[in-house]
């Protein structure tokens, strides 16, 4: 508990030093959407005249952060307006967690019947039905605690998500309470890929395909140890039945990217370690291509020469762009396919 208190205090000091994001976004709150045992708030952005069958991105904020702040940091509503998909941003309530964290570390939230996961999945069902979205094109992403929760949703509901993007997150079902969660944040885990995968298989009893996953982490993250990115990659390689050995490695000026593919060449697990990045969303606000300048630097978003949220939308197959990404990015696949 002391470690978590210290971490949250440091995050709040940083927020005060750099200033919180302006929360004037395009998000709309929906107050009635179905079963909501956790009492979470639903914020969403749906572009005007969105075509039926569009995709949906579920984006989960980190501790001491709001849905609106995550949207500003990543630019998800901007990307949605440009590319034609909807965005769902659940928001935690202080009565569930005083620091505003999603409770990814609690054993009860590592079951399909967990209160918070039930609330999020009710939001997903509401958005798909209300806006006639394609249930096969639902994706989830998150930062920090939101990233850990996103990994949990991929593990618990692999039949409901096509892919995910985890930023500064943690593997599923390693911690079972707050003290174990703090230890995992600080040190990571040396569990094998098969043991990590087994935890997800037990939770969902999935017999079919598993979602693809893109993993982002900063090499200088002192809040969530970078080793957690390695564990996430091991967990999802195990779920996909991929080799435990190294993947295809690309090293560029901004990041080291390792990719594991299926026999057809599709990227199933992509792990990006961004050089010089702390506990933050990596941005590329100085890129010469204005289409890639999305998001806003702030408490949990940092210029790093890599547009992680645009790249994640590309991984999902949602980004439409006339040109390939900047050649300095060692990104191993074309738009969405791999």
Per-residue pLDDT of the chain (338 residues; tens, 9 = 90+): 445 545 554 455 444 444 444 444 689 999 999 999 999 999 999 999 999 999 999 999 999 999 999 999 999 999 999 999 999 999 999 999 999 999 999 999 999 999 999 999 999 999 999 999 999 999 999 999 999 999 999 999 999 999 999 999 999 999 999 999 999 999 999 999 999 999 999 999 888 899 999 999 999 999 999 999 999 999 999 999 998 889 999 998 899 999 999 999 999 999 999 999 999 999 999 887 787 789 999 989 999 999 999 999 999 999 865 455 444 455 544 333 33
30 token code pair: 């929906």
Other C-beta atoms closer than 10 Å to the C-beta of 131 total: 16
Q: Beta-carbon neighbour count of residue 46 at 10 Å?
A: 21
Which residue ranges make up each domain of the chain?
A: 2-7+27-316
Determine the 3-state secondary structure of 14 from DSSP: helix
What's the pLDDT at 332? 45
Please tell me the predicted confidence (pLDDT) of residue 291: 75
C-alpha distances out from residue 94 to 39, 98, 99, 175, 270, Å: 10, 4, 7, 21, 34
Q: 3-class SS at 42?
A: strand
Residue 104 near residue 337, CB atoms below 8 Å? no
Question: What are the start-end ranges of the H helices in the chain?
Answer: 2-18, 67-74, 76-83, 115-130, 145-156, 178-187, 193-204, 227-240, 308-316
How is residue 54 annotated by DSSP?
-
Quote the pLDDT of residue 59: 98
> Of 68, 144, 204, 284, which one is the catalytic site residue?
144
Q: What is the pLDDT of residue 336?
A: 37
Contact 242, 204 (CB under 8 A): no
CB neighbour class for 329 (10 Å; exposed up to 12, middle 13-18, buried from 19) = buried
* pLDDT of the residue at 208: 86
**What pLDDT sits at residue 26?**
82
144: annotated active-site residue: yes
Q: Are 237 and 260 in contact (CB under 8 A)?
A: yes
What pTM value is reported for the model? 0.90
CATH of region 2-7+27-316, choose from 3.40.50.1820, 3.40.50.620, 3.40.1170.10, 3.30.465.10: 3.40.50.1820
Residue 155 to residue 153: CA distance in whole angstroms: 5
What pLDDT is recorded for position 319? 87
């Amino acid at each position: 508990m002391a470690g978590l208190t210290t971490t949250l205090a440091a995050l709040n000091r940083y927020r005060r030093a750099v200033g919180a994001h302006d929360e004037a976004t395009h998000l709309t709150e929906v107050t009635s959407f179905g079963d909501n045992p956790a009492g979470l708030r639903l914020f969403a952005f749906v572009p005007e005249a969105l075509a039926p069958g569009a995709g949906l991105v579920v984006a989960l904020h980190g501790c001491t952060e709001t849905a609106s702040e995550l949207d500003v940091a990543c630019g998800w509503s901007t990307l949605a307006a440009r590319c034609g998909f909807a965005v769902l941003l659940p928001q935690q309530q202080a009565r569930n967690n005083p620091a505003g964290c999603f409770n990814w570390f609690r054993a009860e939230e590592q079951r399909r019947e967990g209160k918070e996961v039930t609330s999020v999945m009710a939001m997903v069902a509401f958005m798909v039905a209300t806006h006639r979205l394609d249930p096969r094109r639902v994706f989830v992403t998150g930062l920090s605690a939101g990233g850990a929760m996103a990994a949990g949703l991929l593990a618990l509901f692999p039949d409901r998500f096509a892919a995910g993007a985890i930023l500064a997150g943690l593997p599923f079902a390693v911690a079972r309470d707050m003290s174990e969660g703090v230890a995992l944040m600080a040190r990571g885990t040396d569990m094998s890929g098969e043991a990590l995968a087994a935890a997800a298989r037990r939770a969902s009893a999935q017999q079919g395909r598993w979602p693809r996953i893109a993993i982002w982490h900063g090499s200088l993250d002192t809040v969530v140890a970078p080793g957690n990115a390695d564990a996430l990659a091991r967990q999802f390689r195990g779920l996909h039945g991929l080799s435990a050995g190294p993947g295809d490695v690309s090293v560029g000026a901004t990041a080291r990217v390792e990719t594991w593919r299926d026999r057809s060449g599709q990227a199933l697990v992509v792990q990006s370690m961004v050089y010089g990045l702390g506990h933050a969303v990596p941005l590329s606000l100085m890129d010469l291509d204005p289409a890639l300048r999305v998001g806003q630097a702030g408490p949990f978003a940092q210029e790093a020469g890599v547009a992680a949220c645009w790249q994640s939308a590309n991984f999902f197959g949602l980004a439409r762009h006339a040109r390939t990404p900047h050649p300095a990015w060692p990104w191993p696949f074309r738009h969405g396919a791999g």
